[in-house]
């Protein structure tokens, strides 16, 4: 691929739209799940809503990485989105605390598989010297789902039932799969799936060369994850009816910076952009901690 390669093509567009629908599918549930779990009598387990989801997402990453490199990018993306489809159908059926917590654990496999394959697919079709820009745009679509999902989910819950909300989540994941199926597989040497592929070695779990950026990612996402868990209840406390408000503001700010940040990372380096991002994250958390008002939440977001 040449330096002048056009990244904004139909295939990249399909991938970004699929990523948007996938992200919307599971994020539209987040602001309403604490209320749903409480209605089942499990208010003491609210902290597990994100924790169980994240745990299985992390545990599945080594397996999804190996499978992405062996059986192909498309099958892994489809599997991740299919998990969202199945969970969207079964949340209304398994209407118990234990059933809900089990589904949250299963649901986490979706983000352990699809995003891994999406990143690999982008790196296949985009020249290395345009990765910052391309991943910025793809990440923007994913983040848009992070914002639109909670806003849409809260609106649906305000006017309809939890069952309708779960079915809408299912529909979004199904749209993501339809778009994935229209993509051409980019892995040239593919293998058929067999159980032996699930056998992983130490090198599949720990890559020493990425431990430093992995630690930075862990710390920054731990900070963001705590906010993500508390936002629904914090919005209620502040009298904000639509619990997706924070996520809308969060994404609007992402929209305004993604193009610039992606290109800046291609020109000035990843370290510079990462440092700026982490400093802004610290500032936003300080604002939300000390200005306990709707405006403080919006400015922090």
pLDDT value of position 5: 56
Q: What would the two tokens of residue 22 be? A: 């996938």
Q: Which residues contact 52 (CB under 8 A, 6 or more apart)?
A: 101, 104, 105, 108
Q: Which residues contact 184 (CB under 8 A, 6 or more apart)?
A: 11
pLDDT value of position 23: 94
pLDDT value of position 6: 66
| Nearest by Cα to 219 from 271, 281, 170 | 281
Count CB-CB contacts under 10 A for residue 191. Answer: 13
The pTM assigned to this predicted structure is: 0.77
CA distance 57 to 46: 18
Residue 8 · residue 107 · CB < 8 Å = no
Architecture, CATH, for domain 10-300 = Up-down Bundle (1.20)
- Exposed (0-12), middle (13-18) or buried (19+): which is 209, by Cβ within 10 Å? exposed
pLDDT value of position 96: 92
pLDDT value of position 50: 82
Q: What would the two tokens of residue 172 be? A: 């979004």
Where along the chain do its domains lie? 10-300
Handedness of CA 234, 236, 242, 243 (dihedral sign): positive
pLDDT, one tens digit for every residue, the chain (301 residues)? 444 456 778 889 999 999 999 999 999 998 889 889 999 999 899 888 888 998 999 889 888 988 999 999 999 999 999 999 999 999 999 889 999 999 999 999 999 999 999 999 999 988 888 888 888 888 888 878 877 888 889 889 888 999 999 999 999 999 999 999 999 999 988 888 887 777 877 777 777 888 899 899 889 888 877 777 788 788 888 888 777 788 778 878 877 887 788 788 888 888 999 999 999 999 999 998 898 898 888 898 8
pLDDT value of position 1: 44
Handedness of CA 84, 217, 132, 149 (dihedral sign): positive
pLDDT value of position 101: 94
């Amino acid at each position: 691929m040449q330096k002048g390669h056009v990244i904004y093509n139909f295939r990249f567009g399909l991938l970004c739209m699929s990523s948007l629908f996938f992200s919307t599918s599971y994020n539209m549930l987040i602001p309403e799940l604490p209320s749903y779990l409480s209605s089942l009598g499990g208010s003491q387990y609210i902290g597990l809503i994100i924790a169980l989801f994240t745990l299985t997402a992390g545990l599945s990453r080594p397996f999804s990485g190996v499978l992405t490199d062996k059986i192909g990018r498309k099958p892994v993306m489809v599997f991740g989105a299919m998990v969202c489809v199945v969970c969207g159908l079964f949340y209304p059926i398994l209407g118990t605390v234990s059933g809900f917590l089990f589904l949250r654990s299963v649901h986490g496999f979706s983000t352990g598989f699809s995003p891994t394959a999406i990143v690999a697919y982008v790196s296949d079709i985009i020249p290395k010297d345009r990765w910052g820009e391309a991943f910025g745009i793809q990440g923007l679509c994913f983040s848009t789902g992070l914002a639109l999902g909670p806003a849409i989910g809260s609106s649906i819950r305000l006017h309809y039932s939890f069952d309708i909300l779960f079915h809408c989540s299912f529909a979004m994941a199904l749209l993501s799969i339809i778009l994935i199926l229209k993509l051409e597989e980019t892995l040239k040497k593919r293998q058929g799936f067999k159980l032996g592929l699930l056998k992983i070695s130490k090198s599949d779990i720990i890559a020493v060369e990425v431990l430093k950026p992995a630690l930075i990612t862990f710390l920054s996402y731990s900070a963001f994850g705590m906010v993500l868990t508390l936002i629904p209840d914090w919005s209620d406390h502040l009298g904000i009816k639509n619990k997706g408000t924070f996520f809308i503001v969060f994404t609007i700010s992402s929209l305004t910076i993604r193009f610039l940040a992606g290109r800046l990372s291609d020109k000035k380096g990843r370290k510079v952009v990462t440092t700026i991002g982490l400093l802004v994250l610290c500032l936003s958390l300080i604002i939300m901690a000390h200005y306990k008002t709707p405006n403080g939440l919006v400015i922090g977001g």
